[in-house]
């Protein structure tokens, strides 16, 4: 079983749901990324999603796009990110998965990316721009490396295609709550609960919901049907304030925000 399989077995055995924050690697620098991840896990996060900066990300809204731009301006390299993960994972107590464009994986080499990720302690890959029809090679490589290949299903995914994606996915299904781009929202679609309920009947995989989740009300709405919730832009926006505010103050604010969301999961 992969680290992510073990995590969800443990959570289910304890009647808990996963809280999964997203952080951009290298914004504003890798040292602060490490500090944020540690504080997020200390606050109760189950798993961390680490964004690999890319100049042309798919489906990311302005907050995450801006964070990628800031990181790239600092000349952040993939090898530096793997070194960061390698430093963090031995005593972190929570898996790290990378959100990475297929262009980066392809340029690095599929086998090499999987080898380097696994050696660094990465537990899984989310590759949002890799169609399920073209994912077989990477899926086989990840299986050999005991890495989860987490794939996305959206509200507009036809149901027959959603089933193919679920069959090819390992670790958990990333269910996109809304059409469009990432970003904080005040409301989520009313059909979301029914869509997730249908998918749950089709697959034993954990289903984690992301995109737009930013308020305790969202958490209370989705926790009953989800195995985990993913929060990105709301955290990335707070991390960005480290450029103008004391870093410890920003870390405390992030921890308070996560506390409020976790309280809504109970």
The predicted pLDDT at position 221 comes to 87
Q: Residue 177: is its pLDDT beyond 70?
A: yes
Residue 167 neighbours by CB distance under 10 Å: 12
The mean pLDDT of 222-245, rounded to a whole number, is 93
> How does pLDDT run across 133-162, given as a tens digit for each residue?
999 999 999 999 999 999 999 988 999 999
Active-site residue (options: 60, 116, 145, 227): 60
> How does pLDDT run across 70-83, given as a tens digit for each residue?
999 999 999 999 99
State how far the Cα of 6 lies from the Cα of 28, in Å rounded to an integer.
Answer: 32
Active-site residue (options: 49, 116, 145, 227): 49
The predicted pLDDT at position 72 comes to 94
Q: Residue 116: is its pLDDT beyond 80?
A: yes
The predicted pLDDT at position 140 comes to 96
State how far the Cα of 24 lies from the Cα of 36, in Å rounded to an integer.
Answer: 10
pTM: 0.93
- Alpha-carbon distance values, 204 to 5, 102, 172, 201, 220 (Å): 12, 26, 9, 8, 23
The CATH number given to whatever domain includes residue 218 is: 3.20.20.70
- Total domain count for the chain? 1
Token output for 166: 């679920």
194 is catalytic: no
189 pLDDT band, cuts 50/70/90, is low
The mean pLDDT of 94-111, rounded to a whole number, is 97
Token output for 171: 């670790």
60 is catalytic: yes
State how far the Cα of 173 lies from the Cα of 209, in Å rounded to an integer.
Answer: 8
Would you say 132 and 165 are in contact if contact means Cβ atoms under 8 Å apart? yes
- Alpha-carbon distance values, 78 to 35, 105, 137, 175 (Å): 19, 10, 21, 26
The predicted pLDDT at position 184 comes to 47
Half-sphere exposure of 43 (CA within 13 A, CB side): 25
How would you class 45 by CB atoms within 10 Å of its CB: exposed for 0-12, middle for 13-18, buried for 19 or more?
buried
The predicted pLDDT at position 180 comes to 47
* Mean confidence (pLDDT) of the chain: 92
185 pLDDT band, cuts 50/70/90, is very low
Nearest to 146 by CA among 123, 112, 128, 126: 123
What is the span of the domain harbouring residue 161? 3-265
Would you say 182 and 63 are in contact if contact means Cβ atoms under 8 Å apart? yes
The mean pLDDT of 166-190, rounded to a whole number, is 73
62 pLDDT band, cuts 50/70/90, is confident
Would you say 209 and 177 are in contact if contact means Cβ atoms under 8 Å apart? yes
Assign residue 237 a region: left if phi > 0, alpha if psi is -120 to 50, beta otherwise? alpha
């Amino acid at each position: 079983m992969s680290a992510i399989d073990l995590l969800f077995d443990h959570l289910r055995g304890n009647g808990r749901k996963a809280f999964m924050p997203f952080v951009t690697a290298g914004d504003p620098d890798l040292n602060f990324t490490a500090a944020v991840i540690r504080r997020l896990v200390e606050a109760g996060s189950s798993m961390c999603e680490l964004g690999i900066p890319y100049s042309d990300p798919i489906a990311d809204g302005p907050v995450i796009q801006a964070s990628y731009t800031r990181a790239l301006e600092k000349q952040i390299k993939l090898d530096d990110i793997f070194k960061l993960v390698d430093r963090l994972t031995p005593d972190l107590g929570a898996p790290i998965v990378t959100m990475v464009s297929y262009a980066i994986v392809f340029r690095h080499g599929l086998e090499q990316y999987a080898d380097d990720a696994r050696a660094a302690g990465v537990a899984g890959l989310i590759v949002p721009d890799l169609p399920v029809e073209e994912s077989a090679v990477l899926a086989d490589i990840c299986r050999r490396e005991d890495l989860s290949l987490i794939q996305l299903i959206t509200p507009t995914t036809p149901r027959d295609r959603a089933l193919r994606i679920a069959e090819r996915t390992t670790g958990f299904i990333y269910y996109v709550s809304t059409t469009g781009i990432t970003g904080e929202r005040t409301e989520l679609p009313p059909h979301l609960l029914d869509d997730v309920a249908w998918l749950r009947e089709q697959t034993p995989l954990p289903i984690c919901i992301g995109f737009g989740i930013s308020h305790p009300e969202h958490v209370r709405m989705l926790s009953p049907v989800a195995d985990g919730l993913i929060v990105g832009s709301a955290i990335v926006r707070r991390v960005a304030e480290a450029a103008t505010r004391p870093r410890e103050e920003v870390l405390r604010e992030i921890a308070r925000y996560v506390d409020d969301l976790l309280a809504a999961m109970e």
